[in-house]
Structure 1
Amino acid sequence: MRQLISSGAPWEPIVGYSRAVRVGNVVEVACTTAQDGDVVTGSDTYTQTKRVLERIAMAPTQAGASLEDVVRTRMFVTDISQWEAVGRAHGEVFGEIRPVTSMVEVKALIDPRLVVEIEATAIISA
């Protein structure tokens, strides 16, 4: 069974993607930013990362998972020198869960106000 989770964003059907997809006990959460409609939460890396992680936490829940089920995160940042701010926010959420992760610097994100984008994979324990 394939469960599609939507955020209701108008570009989901245009681009052809889901906020998250659950197949069996695996939940994949799409790359997530601090953008809510036209608003970007925070101009600094730490605040944006906190908002991204809040948004990520919602998707697994809708699919019957929790943050404790997250086994991987991938972090994309526009300025790798800000890794400590991203890492601190990530550690506040995942410090005990400790999924595998990567942090990669990218040239740009879809909106120049955005500085971090994160995706996650969760595996629901049977």
Structure 2
Amino acid sequence: MQEIKKIATGSPWEDIVGYSRAIKIGNTIEVSGTTAPGANEYEQTVAIIESVKKVLNDLGADLDNIIRTRIYCTDITKWEEIGKAHGEYFGKIKPVTTMVEVAKLIDPNILVEIEFSAIVPQQ
């Protein structure tokens, strides 16, 4: 049986809702929907990716291992701001991605939420 490693960030939501920030099973990593503060969609997207980069590093991975992102935003007309930030990090990596508009996220100040999937090469 493969070892399961769970990462928590200490957010109160993790215990209230009952989830892990990230889980690594074998060489697969799944990162929960991640949000971050910022004045606009671009800043929030950058902060989210920077936050996830730290989580991946804790699990022995980095952004190059990302194979999928799922982006949820509250205003799809801001897709270019979100896409610009995403492209600055993933322009050469080119994971598969989805961007969809949702009615709202957990906090009205949160404009973007992103989930990540990664595969770390077998050693």
Shorter-chain TM-score tier? over 0.9
Contiguous gaps of at least 5 residues in structure 2: none
Q: Give distance in 1, aligned partners of 2:65 and 2:30.
A: 11
Moved over 2 A (4+): none
Aligned AA (1:57): K
- Give, in whole Å, the separation in 2 of the partners of 1:117 and 1:22: 20
* Gap runs ≥5 in structure 1: 35-39
Q: Matched residues in 2 for 1:11 and 1:49: separation?
A: 20
Greater displacement, 73-82 / 5-14: 5-14
TM (normalized to structure 2)? 0.95
Determine the structure 2 residue equivalent to 1:9. 11
Question: What is the CA-CA distance between 1:32 and the residue it aligns to?
Answer: 0.4
Residue identity opposite 1:77 in structure 2: C
Match of 1:68, SS state, is helix
2 CA distance for matches of 1:84 and 1:76? 13
Q: Residue 43 of structure 1 corresponds to which residue in structure 2?
A: 39
Q: How high is the sequence identity, in percent, across the aligned residues?
A: 50
Coordinate RMSD, CA, aligned: 0.8
How high is the TM-score relative to the length of structure 1? 0.92
Corresponding position of 2:106 = 110
Which residue does 2:115 correspond to in 1?
119
Q: Provide the aligned length of Structure 1 versus Structure 2.
A: 120
